[in-house]
Amino acid sequence: MRRVLTAALFALPILFLAIFYAWPLLAILRVSFAGAPGEAIGQVGAAVGSPAFWQLLWFTTWQALVSTLLTIAAGLPLAYIFARYDFRGKSLVHALLTIPFVMPTVVVATAFMALIGRTGLLNTWLQDAFGLAAPPIRLEQTIWLILIVHVFYNVAVIIRTVGGFWTNLSPHLGASAAVLGASPWRVLRTITLPLLLPSILAAGLLVFLFCFTSFGVILILGGARFATIEVEIYRQAVSYFNLPLAAFLCLVQLAITFSVMVAYTRMQARVSRPLAQRGGGLARRPANRREWAVLAIALAVTAAGLLAPLGALAVRSFTLGDQGPTLLYYQALTTNPRQSAFFAPPVTAIANSLLYATATLLISLPLGIIGAYMLAQERSRWAAVFDPLLLLPLGTSAVTLGFGYIVAMGPLRTSLWLVPIAHSLIALPFVVRTFLPALRALDRRLREASATLGAGPLRSWWTIDVPLLLRAALISAAFAFAISLGEFGATLLVARPDRPTMPMVIYQALGRPGLINYGQALAMSTILMAVTAVALIAIERFRVPGSEEF
């Protein structure tokens, strides 16, 4: 009976992926190659034979790899400091860190331009300070800007995932090593980093996949000079309507994603080990002036790198050209001067967004956690197969899958339910990846001990797993919620203007000339940031009754 129940439970995420991922994808691939097979093969052959194709693969891979390494390098020190020190406002910092995730690329691009563009703040300041004739920072449409923005978008994944894991790492091992004479550097190299490796790999993999399938950042910040496979798929599928070639590129992208994930799964299984975990084991208030200084520097770096662009954006939403502060853009959001249908005052857009995000959370969190438990089963044949499969949605071209929905989803394709379902598809890999390292690190002996002491499986789950894994679950939940809040979804889904979300309002405003439209986009982006921050803080503070002690 228990076995059947477990099997039924484990079947849920698989079923979800089969219906909402595999089926539409297979349907669009079938349609794409069905037309004229001979012609399709000819086109694919010609593409593979051209140097442009290999250039495309090479650029996509190396920019993703470099972006990932830079993101890890930027994220690890901050992850350590935020994991190590408790301070007032920490959950606010955590929430703020996750905000870039929800920001539309166009808006982030304007924020960076306002900061480091040719006439941006930094250049103006440097020119004034040093009397330079030309702006010293020229990053527009360069690979550097793409890399910087990739780090900006993804550093939260490292800080949150690795940081969450690090907090729960018992400090005793390191302390013992120190007592035995190991230098701090040696403790880091031989104890801490190896123990952290599973979570670094897991977070790094997510970042890699995000950058590997990067679309908006490449197009908008790179100008037109750079193209990833995802960008090329879009051009083939939309501009040229060359479905066979688009489908082939989609398969190439999937094949690379899949092999990266297989390699990752192997490594992950090798480096994971159960740890003596403790909730909040490492976190404490800084003890002396040196520690306060370290924390202050970390916060300053975070503020400069992550919050300055977002802050610049918020400031601009309250500024009217040279004329000083204004609420005009916010007022404009609430009025409908041309009496357009489907006008959405901010409250409506916020409510719609929150509704979708909550539904996404309710779908993706249980499914993801079940999926993680399935993968954590030792000696499970399933785990080896499904571990990489669970991540595939992240490596799949959105435009291809969107076309797949149109072909395969019947009446559901125009249903509002498809929105949280599609958001969950993107959130699911996040939930699984952020939750799994913590789950794998859970010491089995704890559960065995509770079973020996007479606790049933449910009780030992409630008293052992829930308190120890709550932090990881909350981080997963925060990501799932944020992903849904920021998803524009027009490529993936059929949008319903009668049910507009915050990102939809932003894009709508950016589609028309005129300063008031631009201002409204800034204002709505600022509201999106604020709503995200509040929602994430609320999620962070969630506690299971009776487990406050951990």
The nearest distance, CB 46 to other proteins, in angstroms, is 12
Tell me the HSE value of 166 on the side-chain side, using a 13 A CA sphere. Answer: 28
Which of residues 269, 315, 406, 446 is near other proteins by CB under 8 A? 406
The site map against other proteins for 117-136 (x = CB under 8 A) is: xxxx----------------
Site for other proteins in 358-387 (CB under 8 A): 358
Q: Which is nearer to other proteins, 393 or 500 (CB)?
A: 500
- Judged by CB under 8 A, the chain residues 481 through 540 that form the site for other proteins are 490-491, 494-499, 507-508, 510-519, 534-535, 537-539
Q: What is the DSSP letter of 134?
A: S
Quick check: helix, strand or coil at residue 353?
helix
Name the residue nearer to other proteins (CB basis): 376 or 421. Answer: 421
CB-based contact 376:436 (threshold 8 Å): yes
CB of 173 to other proteins, least distance (A): 32
Choose which of 238, 255, 262, 385 interacts with other proteins (CB under 8 A). Answer: 238
Among 225, 266, 273, 285, binds other proteins (CB under 8 A): 225
- Cα 350 to chain centroid distance, Å, stands at 21
Query: What's the rounded Cα separation, in Å, for the pair 89 and 272?
Result: 32
The interface with other proteins within residues 162-201 (CB under 8 A) comprises none
144 vs 240, which CB is nearer to other proteins? 240
CB 328 within 8 A of CB 320: yes
- What residues from 10 to 29 belong to the interface with other proteins (CB under 8 A)? 28
Should residue 470 be labelled a site residue for other proteins when binding is judged by CB under 8 A? Answer: no
How many beta carbons lie within 10 A of that of residue 427, not counting itself? 29
Identity of the residue, 31 or 383, whose beta carbon is nearer to other proteins in the bound complex? 31
Closest to 488 measured CA to CA, from 386, 419, 395: 419
Q: Which listed residue (161, 277, 352, 397) binds other proteins by CB under 8 A?
A: 352
DSSP characters for 183-229?
A: -HHHHIIIIIHHHHHHHHHHHHHHHHHHHHT--HHHHHHSTTS---H
Calculate the dihedral angle through the C-alpha atoms of 130, 133, 137, 142, rounding to the nearest 10 degrees: -170
Least distance between other proteins and beta carbon 81 (Å): 24
Scan residues 326-345 and list those touching other proteins (CB under 8 A).
326, 328, 336, 338-343
Compute the distance between CA of residue 14 and CA of residue 153 in angstroms, rounded to an integer.
Answer: 29
CB of 440 to other proteins, least distance (A): 28
* 88 contacts other proteins (rule: CB under 8 A): no
Q: Do the Cβ atoms of 368 and 13 come closer than 8 Å?
A: yes
The β-bridge partners of 325 are 319
Interacting span for other proteins (CB under 8 A) from 11-19, 156-164, 233-241, 271-279: 233-241
Given a contact cutoff of 8 angstroms between Cβ atoms, the answer to whether 332 and 343 are in contact is no
Q: Which of 58, 62, 144, 542 binds other proteins (CB under 8 A)?
A: 542
